[in-house]
Amino acid sequence: MNYERLQSNINAYKKTGEILEAARFLIHQFNLDDENFAGFGFREELEKESILLTANGEIGEMQHVMIPKNIFDFDLTLVLNMLAHEMLHVRQKSPRMMILDKNEREWQAYYEMLFHTNFPQIPELSDYYKNFFGEKALIYYSRMGEGSELQLKYLEQKLEVEKFLQDIKNKTI
């Protein structure tokens, strides 16, 4: 994937105010689309340094991914990883998956941002963001309940995330 050309396309969409179209373009370019995806909509922007996307819709129903209008003011690799995170939620909430527990959905989505098991075409994040999202994953793991069935289900992945984060920390020492 030629990221310069990709960024040029995004900039052209941005210049004409076609933010939702640019997001759709990325979904198609990176094969993230899903039959349970109803489309994009806008949500309120946070601070200039913060970005938040959400997958909105009841479990078992079509999902809308809500993005801020300033989404393309952020690093493209970060945006792609966040879109993949939300598109995994679209799948998780589909009638074919129906993952009911929010902590499990978030655990899987943050794990995806680190290891790209569902979307291997998504580029790798910087170590800063890997650490940030890895820590978020562990928060959701802890919310599953100490010794719960869910924690046992994801124990090996948790150990993998902990080792991954330790490897990142060891690189900076």
- This prediction's pTM: 0.95
List, for residues 45-64, the tens digit of each pLDDT value: 877 788 999 999 999 999 99
Each as own residue / partner, the long-range contacts of residues 29-32 (CB below 8 Å, 24 or more positions apart, any chain) are 29/1, 30/80, 30/83, 30/84, 30/119, 30/121, 30/122, 31/119, 31/121, 32/83, 32/84, 32/87, 32/119
Q: Mean pLDDT throughout 12-24?
A: 97
Q: How many CA within 13 A on the CB side of residue 89?
A: 24
